[in-house]
Structure 1
Amino acid sequence: MKAIWQGHVLATSNHVIVMGGQHYFPMESVRTGFLVPSNRRSRNDWRGERHYFHLRTDDLEVMDAAWSFPAPVEDAAALSGYIAFGEDVTIGH
């Protein structure tokens, strides 16, 4: 699977987890140069505390367009070390 944004491949992996309709990519498969940590946090009762990232190129930024669960709840423990992308990112093969 690939995550593509503005013609840039953000992540490529054969180890994507699909949970709740979202595709989660292993962090080591992500080109982190496009990610900027956000101060935004939210709570998801099924997964835990969500930490957000902005997507950025030289001329474009999308706020809070990716997220991870650094310390997911037990039922979502598999998401530790994975990141998902919002609707601005195309997921495909």
Structure 2
Amino acid sequence: MKAIWNGAVIAESDATVVVEGNHYFPREALDPRYFAPSENHSVCHWKGTADYFHVEVDGKRNPNAAWTYPTPSPAAAEIADHVAFWHGVEVVAA
């Protein structure tokens, strides 16, 4: 799978984990040039607390377009150290 935004491949992996229709990419599959930390957080009743990243490509920022569960609940343990996308980030087959 590839995650693409603003014409750049920001993540690529053949080992994503699909949860609730979202492909979670292993952290090492992300191109770190395109990610900046965010102070945004949210809570899912069964996965835990999510941390967000801004996606930045060619001087354009997509705020809070990526998220991860750094310490997911036991029910969501398979997405530990994985990142998912939204807000216009296209996830397509590689």
**TM-score normalised by the chain length of structure 2:** 0.94
Q: Does 1:85 align with 2:85?
A: yes
User: Given residue 23 of structure 1, which amino acid in structure 2 is its aligned partner?
Assistant: H
Query: How far, CA to CA, are the matches of 1:29 and 1:57 in structure 2?
Result: 17
Q: Gaps (5+ residues) in structure 1? A: none
Aligned-pair distance for 1:59? Answer: 2.1
In the TM superposition, structure 1's runs of 4+ consecutive aligned residues that sit over 6 Å from their partners are none
| Partner of residue 20, structure 2 | 20
Q: Gaps (5+ residues) in structure 2? A: none
| Partner of residue 40, structure 1 | 40
Q: How many residues end up aligned between the 2 structures?
A: 93
Supply the RMSD in Å over aligned alpha carbons.
0.9
Q: Does the 8 Å CA contact 2:16/2:26 hold for their aligned counterparts? A: yes
Q: Secondary structure at the match of 2:88?
A: coil
Aligned-pair distance for 1:20? Answer: 0.6
Q: Does 1:62 align with 2:62?
A: yes
